[in-house]
């Protein structure tokens, strides 16, 4: 057995340089996708999302430093007014020809109410972890990355993994919402209750959340365990692992018959900090295997098992906010749907089979998670727990197959799309998936009757 780090580093070097026994040479990487001009004809500056698939040239850029300034901007700025966080959404939620607003000046913990933290919506999750830890508290769960703003997480129903753990918005007990009328509404289960249930997941279509009150947990150390095993074994044991572990997720790796599994469990053991990430090396191996052996699935699987199949597990123990999220420096585009538990793994098997039959260019692993239910009107997890399937492709690769090949499978199995990930569903499709869809639209019309917050993407989504 060799360490996973040594296996990946040696594998990447060997594949990139000469391959097995000098039989292969690395295929030249694809060129960068073309970038829009940094200035348009009106000399407006380009805004672009993280993966590069969405862009805009806003007429105004706003960075308010107070709630009152947010409310005033919503009332007076050139429409449509859209808010941007980290730009990690792949859909057209942010692009606007009007005003683009950042909440980066509204950050940090505003105050504590017992063990609940009132947090400014511009706070990035990566900064919120240590801020809560200073008081011995933590968020119950974290998503796969921690670059997002809290407001962006709530707007798109961002989540982590864990059978008993809700998405981020599920721990919101109250919020403050600035509206286009210039008002700031206090919302919770008793005050403006309908707005509260609508605003917890609202795509920035009701107003701008300025603060959210979050339930927190004790800041416990977690034991992180990462290992590689045959995908068939992972599928057979997945349900038991979701029941047994605080956090469990796995990555099904197409064209390898392998899966990488990750668990996190509470522990009182002393900290053993997490080693530097090997994700870049892992992806480089998979990409070069794709480039060199795409003419033969059998050869690709054999090479992958030889390079990756004997990797030694990795362990780390530290505070949860240091372990639950991961750096993702390699850009990608992504489609993620949330499916009923009963159809979750069956849908995954179909997705893997479809990719291996029709898309030899795919090399990114498929992320598989489980999320507890909550009651927010546009939460994908409303009404029952859901299992997520997230299909990624390299930002330089063509991704239309996500719509033509993957989305039909996920929809057939009752999937609801992640609001920040690629999908092509519109109002009629979504109304059939969400029991409170029309109630949400009623609140949206009441709070923004002129559609000052609606860009073309949201108009199509809501049927305006």
User: What phi and psi values does residue 130 have, to the nearest 5 degrees?
Assistant: -65, -30
pLDDT tens digits, one per residue of 49-81:
999 999 999 999 999 999 999 999 999 999 999
Distance CA 216, CA 202 (A): 22
Distance CA 251, CA 266 (A): 22
Q: How far is CA 212 from CA 108, 154, 159, 178, 372, in A?
A: 11, 9, 16, 12, 20
* pTM summary value: 0.94
pLDDT confidence of residue 311: 81
Look up residue 376 and give its two tokens: 């927010």
Look up residue 420 and give its two tokens: 């920040």
Among 315, 385, 389, 405, CA closest to 348: 389
Q: What's the average pLDDT block by block, 10 residues per block, for the chain (464 residues)? A: 43 43 53 94 97 98 98 98 97 98 98 98 98 98 96 98 98 98 97 98 98 98 97 98 98 97 98 85 92 91 90 93 93 98 98 97 97 98 98 96 98 98 98 98 98 98 96
What number of other Cβ atoms are within 10 A of residue 193's Cβ?
Answer: 11
pLDDT tens digits, one per residue of 355-386:
999 999 999 999 999 999 999 999 999 999 99
Q: What is the CATH number of domain 109-218?
A: 3.30.465.10
Angle value at C-alpha 169, between 369 and 93, nearest 5 degrees: 85
DSSP-derived secondary structure letter, 342: G
Distance CA 143, CA 133 (A): 17
Q: Domain extents for the chain? A: 47-101, 109-218, 221-417
User: What phi and psi values does residue 13 have, to the nearest 5 degrees?
Assistant: -65, -40
Look up residue 33 and give its two tokens: 């996708």
Distance CA 450, CA 179 (A): 12
pLDDT confidence of residue 271: 97
Burial zone of 52 (CB within 10 Å; 0-12 exposed, 13-18 middle, 19+ buried): middle
Distance CA 110, CA 104 (A): 14
CA 154: distance to chain centroid?
11
221-417 fold: Vanillyl-alcohol Oxidase; Chain A, domain 3 (3.40.462)
Q: Are 65 and 106 in contact (CB under 8 A)?
A: yes
């Amino acid at each position: 057995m060799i360490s996973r780090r040594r296996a990946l580093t040696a594998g990447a070097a060997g594949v990139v340089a000469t391959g097995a026994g000098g039989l292969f040479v690395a295929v030249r990487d694809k060129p960068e996708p073309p970038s829009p001009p940094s200035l348009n004809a009106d000399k407006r500056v380009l805004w672009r999302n993280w993966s590069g698939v969405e862009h805009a040239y806003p007429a105004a850029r706003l960075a308010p430093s107070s709630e009152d300034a947010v409310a005033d901007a919503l009332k007076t700025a050139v429409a449509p007014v859209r808010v941007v966080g980290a730009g990690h959404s792949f859909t057209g939620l942010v692009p606007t020809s009007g005003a683009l607003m950042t909440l980066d000046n509204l950050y940090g913990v505003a105050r504590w109410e017992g063990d609940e933290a009132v947090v400014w919506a511009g706070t990035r999750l990566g900064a919120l972890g240590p801020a809560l830890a200073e008081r011995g508290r933590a968020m119950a769960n974290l998503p796969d990355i921690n670059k997002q703003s809290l407001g962006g997480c709530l707007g798109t129903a961002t989540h982590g993994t864990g059978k008993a753990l809700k998405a981020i918005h599920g721990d919101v007990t109250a919020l403050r919402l600035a509206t286009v009328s210039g008002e700031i509404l206090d919302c919770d289960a008793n005050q403006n209750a309908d707005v509260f249930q609508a605003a917890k997941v609202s795509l920035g279509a009701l107003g701008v959340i300025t603060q959210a009150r979050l339930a927190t947990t004790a800041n416990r150390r977690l034991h992180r365990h990462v290992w590689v095993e045959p995908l068939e074994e992972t599928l057979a044991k997945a349900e038991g692992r979701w029941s047994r572990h605080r956090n469990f997720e796995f990555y099904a790796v197409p064209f390898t018959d392998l899966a990488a599994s990750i668990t996190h469990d509470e522990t009182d053991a002393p900290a053993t900090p997490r080693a530097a990430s090997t994700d870049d090396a892992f992806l480089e191996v998979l990409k070069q295997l794709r480039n060199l052996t795409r003419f033969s699935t059998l050869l690709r699987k054999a090479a992958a098992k030889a390079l990756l199949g004997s990797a030694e597990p990795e362990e780390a123990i530290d505070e949860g906010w240091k372990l639950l999220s991961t750096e993702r420096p390699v850009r990608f585009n992504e489609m993620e749907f949330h499916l009923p538990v009963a159809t979750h793994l069956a849908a995954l098997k179909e997705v893997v089979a479809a990719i291996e039959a029709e898309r030899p260019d795919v090399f990114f692993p498929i992320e598989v998670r489980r999320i507890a239910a909550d009651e927010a009107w546009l939460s994908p997890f409303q009404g029952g727990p859901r299992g997520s399937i997230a299909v990624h492709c390299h930002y330089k690769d063509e991704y239309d197959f996500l719509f033509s090949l993957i989305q039909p499978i996920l929809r057939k199995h009752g999937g609801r799309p992640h609001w920040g990930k690629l999908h092509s569903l519109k109002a009629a499709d979504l109304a059939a998936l969400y029991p409170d869809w029309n109630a949400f639209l009623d609140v949206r019309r009441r709070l923004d009757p002129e559609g000052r917050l609606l860009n073309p993407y949201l108009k199509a989504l809501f049927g305006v």
